[in-house]
Amino acid sequence: MNFTPIPMTYREILPNLLCKNLIEVCPTKPVRPPYPKNYDINARCDYHGRASGHSTEACEALKRKVQSLIDSR
């Protein structure tokens, strides 16, 4: 029997990881101007406590955390 994973977005994965206590929200301090080049004032990251600057999907810290969980299993 082959298992084919169903692709999920990081925004979909995050609540499951939080519920299973595999990950915690990591709030960040607000960034003040001048903003970094890739800063998106309209984007919010759920992993960083709804902080602005990037989206949950673009969150490099969350991606590294998820990869670390995958590697540790």
pLDDT digits (tens, 9 = 90+) for 6-61: 788 999 999 999 999 999 999 998 889 899 998 999 999 999 999 999 999 999 99
pLDDT at 13: 94
CA distance 36 to 29: 14
- Note whether 62 and 15 are within 8 A (CB): no
Measure Cα distances from 7 to 4, 13, 27, 46, 59 in Å: 9, 10, 26, 19, 17
SS3 44: strand
- pLDDT in the model for residue 1: 62
Q: Is the dihedral of CA 50, 53, 56, 62 positive or negative?
A: negative
